[in-house]
Amino acid sequence: MMKMLKSKVLFLVGMVALLWGVEIADTLSHHLLDNLGAIRPRTQIGLAQIFSAPFLHLGWQHLIGNTLALIPLGALMLVQRAFVPVMLISIVVGGLGTWAFSTSASLGFSGVLFGFMGFLLARGIYTRKPLAIAISLITFSYFSGIVWAGLIPQAGISWSGHFWGFVGGVLAAKQLKAPRRDDI
């Protein structure tokens, strides 16, 4: 049990370190990575950028905000044993939705974070298991304001990425195989 907890903590620390390492590299390159990696709507290259954009941020404030949300959401996702699959589904659904419907370039991990929120909120509904319901309620009470604020169109904020990431998380909650009885 302790070994599993340690590996989950190390995974989350590694994910945060990856995002910070990419931002350090981006800063050292004078933001060349941001320019090359953002999702550019309805362009051929924009499709490939779906997979790079989540790992790039528009500066340190953007990264700090996403890190502060990633730590609790990531921990809850690791409890649900769904971090990686939901991250990938949110990247694909959120990226494709942003590519197809956004009006401006987009980058940042917040689409994945909204996917995590969508997953955590919907998981309790779909599984009806006590721990999943408790996590849904915690997620709702702690993050509901962020969800609504992030889905309202605002200048400089990729509400499209947030919306489609959230949709990806809800779809993941519905589609992913229910956890074993001893998981939740």
Spatial separation of the C-alpha atoms in residues 19 and 67, rounded to whole Å: 8
Burial of 2 (0-12, 13-18, 19+ CB in 10 A): exposed
Structure tokens belonging to residue 83: 């971090």
Work out the mean pLDDT of the chain and round it to a whole number: 90
Name the percent of the chain lying above pLDDT 90.
73
Structure tokens belonging to residue 67: 């890190």
How far is the CA of 51 from the CAs of 34, 62, 71, 91, 136, in angstroms?
13, 18, 21, 7, 28
Residue 92 predicted with pLDDT over 50: yes
Spatial separation of the C-alpha atoms in residues 13 and 178, rounded to whole Å: 26
For residue 108, what pLDDT is reported? 95
Per-residue burial over 81-111, b if 16 or more Cβ lie within 10 Å, else e, is ebbeebbebbbbbbbebbbeebeebbbbbbb
Most confident option among 24-33, 125-134, 142-151: 24-33
For residue 177, what pLDDT is reported? 66
For residue 146, what pLDDT is reported? 75
Q: Closest Cα to residue 168, out of 65, 93, 71?
A: 93
Residue 183 predicted with pLDDT over 60: no
